[in-house]
Each structure stands twice: as C-alpha cells, then as structure tokens.
C-alpha cells in the first residue's frame, strides 16, 4: 500500500503556523498584551455573566449579537466622540477574524490586497488563505507613508482591499487623516471598488491630538475601522475584535461569517467587560506615560527609536539583533525579534517589568 498524500494546497506546503514563541519567563514583553490583569470586581462580573450564559448553552447563540454590537457602538462613540450605531458594528473572535472576514468578502481569486511594509505580519496570511494576490509598497525611512507613492500604488495595482495599520505594528507609526483621506479618494477610483481598512488595534494608546479614522466614517462607505479588546482593554484571552463601517459593508461580512461564530460565552464576557470599560482603560494613561519614558530612556542610551502611538516601542539598531534578543531572554525578559533588520520591539509592561528590561539591555548591549 502506498502512503496517501495529503493534498495540502501548494502555497501552504512546508509552512509553519504563525506565532511568537510562547515561553514561560518572568517578564513577558513580546506580544503587546496589557500587563494589568482585570480587577477582582471585573473578574466577578465576568464570572457571573458566564454563569448566566451557561444556563442557556443548550441553545445556539444569537447569530447577529445585537446587544453586544450596541455596547461596542456606545463604547466607540464615547471613546472617539464620533456617533456610531449598532448596525455599523461587526465583531468576531479577535480582530484577526474580522480581517479574515474582510478578505473573504472583498478579496479572493483574481483580486489584490495592498499594504505598506514593514507592517503586521498576519496581513499576507489573510491574503494567502483567501487566495488574494498580496502586494506591498514600502513605508518611508521613518516608517510614515509617502502619500503620493501610496496613492500611486493604489492606482497601479487596483486593489479591492487596502490594509493600513494605525498605529502600525511593529513600528508604532500613526497615520494622519489627510493621508487616510487621500487613500480613500484613490480607492474610489479603482474600477470595481476598493475597501480601505484602518486597523486601529492600538488606537486607544494614541497620543493626545492624534485622530482616529472613525472621524472619516460618515463620508466614506468604503472605509472600515477595526479595533480589538486584546490590547488597551487587557482582554487578549477573551478573543473579541470588532470594526465600524457603513451598514452595507457590515452586511457583506455577515454573508461570509460562519454561523454562530461568536459563542454565547464570548458575547457574555465581552458585554460584562464593556460595562467596566472606564476601569479597564484606566491603565491606558499609565501605559502611555511608561511608553514615553521608555522612548526617552532608549534615546538617552544612543539608540534609534521609532515614533510610537502604540503600547510598544521599536528600537535599534543592532548588528546582531538575535544575540540581543537571546541575551535578554537569558535574563528572563522576552521581547520580539521583528521589524526591519537590526530592530527589536518591546511591549510596554509595568514599571517593574520595564526596569527589568532596562537592566537586562544595559548588560547585554549598552
Ligand atoms: C494585536 C493586533 C491585532 C489584534 O488581534 P486580535 O485578534 O484582536 O487579538 C490586530 N492588528 C494588529 C496590527 C495587531 O498588532
């Protein structure tokens, strides 16, 4: 008998699953999590909400989760000052799944998704998994977007989806609204249409005066702004991402989602946590301040540091960045080996964790 061959799609052959190493070390600064766990009040309310949901688990959850969408709309309205309604909100198991829905609905064979590198390393995977052609332009030396070049790339490649992370991962760079507006205008000219996705996973960490692309929603039915509860909310383990867009765009996503993709437990956890949004976000100010201190400290040591509006800092450059990463790990501090050659990324932790990071970096590289 011959061994049967697994008919793995050729573009997946030999690939490893995506993901940063999950190592058990004292100081975890590698995946941009919020270092502050939920308070006992939040834990109690979440547990009670799950208890209530558990009593109905013989039934499928609400497929369209109107109550959660209304809560998310209220939260976005309060956070950004832009009125958002439930019909403009979509959610899934992490914004990663939201993005996949976007590519399933608007990408596909014969179509193109465009982004600008260096950027989030999952974007090409959504394109690959939906058989969407993947094209990347370059960011400028300081990781901002050159508007003229970016607009020209849209005109040249005629993508059906443009993916823009703002603040960008792994660089921390936020986009200004004129840049997003220029890309939205360019997208309007693409024959067959083009959706512009602004991924604001780190939106809540932006510095004062830095706008959210939510401000452009009213005039742009081909804009989607995605957010997540994984970062500022400190709920990475709950898996809840969402977006705001015109109701017609949301309706297109409802076609491709799996039935009952958001479990009753997930919906209950998210709603219980959203009722405590202010408390969960209370640490955001502290994390921003810690980020700005980290930037100053790294610069005071003569290192290059990218401007950042996120809860992480890209710094460098090192002739052998892997050795620096390993040296920190040997001292119990896990950061991320990512970004352009020579750069490293550190997530912002508690003051004690950042002190451990600084001590370790002094020993290893300074
Ligand atoms: C962390 C991150 C996300 C969020 O992913 P979730 O699936 O919501 O946990 C989205 N986009 C970027 C750029 C990120 O870095």
Distances 192 to 107, 133, 174, 222, 280 between C-alpha atoms, Å: 12, 16, 29, 12, 42
Closest ligand 1 atom, residue 119 Cα: 13
CB 69 within 8 A of CB 283: no
- Tell me if 241 CB under 6 Å of ligand 1: yes
Distances 339 to 43, 118, 295 between C-alpha atoms, Å: 35, 6, 17
Q: Distance (Å, rounded) from C-alpha 234 to C-alpha 48?
A: 19
pLDDT at 130: 97
pLDDT at 18: 86
Confidence at 121, pLDDT banded by 50, 70, 90: very high
- Residue with the nearest Cα to atom 7 of ligand 1? 94
**pLDDT surpasses 80 at 1:** no
Quick check: pTM over 0.95? yes
**Helix count and strand count (H, E) for the chain:** 12, 12
**pLDDT surpasses 80 at 351:** yes
- Residue with the nearest Cα to atom 3 of ligand 1? 201
Distances 234 to 34, 35, 163, 257, 321 between C-alpha atoms, Å: 5, 7, 24, 25, 29
Q: Which of 294, 338, 341 is nearest to 313 (CA)?
A: 294
- Tell me if 98 CB under 6 Å of ligand 1: no
pLDDT at 19: 83
Q: Distance (Å, rounded) from C-alpha 279 to C-alpha 183?
A: 36
The ranges assigned to domains in the chain are 20-37+278-365, 41-275
- Measured in Å, residue 247 CA sits from the centre of ligand 1 at 23
CB 90 within 8 A of CB 98: yes
- Tell me if 169 CB under 6 Å of ligand 1: yes
- Residue with the nearest Cα to atom 2 of ligand 1? 201
- Tell me if 165 CB under 6 Å of ligand 1: yes
Closest ligand 1 atom, residue 229 Cα: 8
**pLDDT surpasses 80 at 38:** yes
Q: Which of 305, 326, 332, 324 is nearest to 366 (CA)?
A: 324
pLDDT at 193: 98
**pLDDT surpasses 80 at 14:** yes
pLDDT at 280: 86
Q: Distance (Å, rounded) from C-alpha 74 to C-alpha 37?
A: 23
pLDDT at 229: 97
- Tell me if 242 CB under 6 Å of ligand 1: no
- Residue with the nearest Cα to atom 10 of ligand 1? 201
**346: which strand partners?**
313
Q: Distance (Å, rounded) from C-alpha 251 to C-alpha 88?
A: 9
Confidence at 282, pLDDT banded by 50, 70, 90: confident
**Secondary structure of 253-270 in the HEC alphabet?**
HHHHCCCCCCCHHHHHHH
**pLDDT surpasses 90 at 74:** yes
pLDDT at 354: 98
Closest ligand 1 atom, residue 241 Cα: 8
Q: Distance (Å, rounded) from C-alpha 87 to C-alpha 13?
A: 40
Q: Distance (Å, rounded) from C-alpha 94 to C-alpha 238?
A: 8
The CATH number of domain 41-275, selected from 3.30.300.30, 3.40.190.10, 3.40.640.10, 3.30.410.40? 3.40.640.10
Average predicted confidence (pLDDT) for the chain: 96
The CATH number of domain 20-37+278-365, selected from 3.90.1150.10, 1.10.3720.10, 3.40.640.10, 3.40.50.1240? 3.90.1150.10
Q: Which spans in the chain are helix H?
A: 40-54, 66-80, 95-106, 123-129, 147-157, 177-188, 247-256, 264-274, 277-280, 282-300, 321-330, 351-365
- Tell me if 119 CB under 6 Å of ligand 1: no
pLDDT at 366: 84
Q: Distance (Å, rounded) from C-alpha 165 to C-alpha 110?
A: 24
Closest ligand 1 atom, residue 93 Cα: 7
Give the model confidence (pLDDT) of 136-185 as tens digits. 999 999 999 999 999 999 999 999 999 999 999 999 999 999 999 999 99
Pocket probe mutation, ligand 1, options 122, 174, 235, 313, max atoms within 8 Å of Cβ: 122
Pocket probe mutation, ligand 1, options 119, 230, 308, 339, max atoms within 8 Å of Cβ: 230
- Measured in Å, residue 186 CA sits from the centre of ligand 1 at 26
Other beta carbons less than 10 A from residue 191's beta carbon:
6
Angle at 256 between CA 255 and CA 259, to 5 degrees: 85
Give the model confidence (pLDDT) of 229-246 as tens digits. 999 999 999 999 999 999
């Amino acid at each position: 008998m011959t061994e049967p061959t697994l008919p793995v799609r050729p573009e997946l052959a030999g690939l490893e699953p995506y993901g940063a190493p999950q190592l058990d070390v004292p100081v975890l600064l590698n995946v941009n999590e919020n270092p502050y766990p939920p308070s006992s009040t939040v834990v109690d309310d979440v547990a009670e909400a799950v208890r209530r949901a558990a009593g109905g688990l013989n039934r499928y959850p609400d497929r369209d989760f109107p109550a959660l969408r209304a809560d998310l709309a209220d939260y976005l309205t309060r956070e950004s000052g832009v009125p958002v309604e439930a019909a403009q909100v979509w959610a899934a198991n992490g914004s990663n799944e939201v993005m996949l829905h976007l590519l399933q609905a608007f990408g596909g064979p014969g179509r193109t998704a465009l982004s600008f590198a260096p950027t989030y390393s999952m974007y090409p995977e959504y394109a690959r998994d939906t058989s969407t052609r993947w094209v990347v332009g370059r960011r400028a030396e300081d990781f901002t977007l050159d508007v003229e070049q970016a607009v020209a790339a849209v005109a040249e490649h005629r993508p059906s989806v443009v993916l823009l992370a703002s603040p960008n991962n792994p660089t921390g760079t936020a986009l200004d609204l004129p840049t997003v507006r220029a890309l939205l205008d360019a997208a309007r000219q693409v024959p067959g249409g083009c959706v512009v996705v602004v991924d604001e996973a780190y939106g809540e960490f932006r510095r004062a005066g830095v706008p959210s692309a939510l401000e452009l929603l009213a005039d742009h039915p081909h804009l989607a702004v995605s957010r997540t509860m994984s970062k500022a909310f400190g709920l990475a383990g709950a898996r809840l991402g969402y977006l705001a867009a015109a109701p017609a765009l949301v309706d297109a996503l409802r076609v491709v989602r799996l039935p009952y993709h958001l479990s009753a437990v997930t919906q209950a956890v998210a709603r219980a946590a959203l009722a405590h949004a202010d408390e969960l976000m209370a640490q955001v100010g502290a994390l921003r301040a810690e980020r700005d201190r980290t930037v100053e400290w790294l610069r005071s040591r003569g290192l290059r540091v990218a401007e950042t509006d996120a809860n992480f800092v890209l710094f460098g450059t090192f002739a052998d960045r892997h050795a620096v990463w390993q040296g920190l790990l040997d001292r119990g501090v896990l950061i991320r080996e990512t970004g352009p050659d020579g750069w490293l990324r550190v997530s912002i932790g508690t003051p004690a964790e950042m002190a451990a990071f600084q001590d370790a970096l002094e020993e290893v590289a300074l």
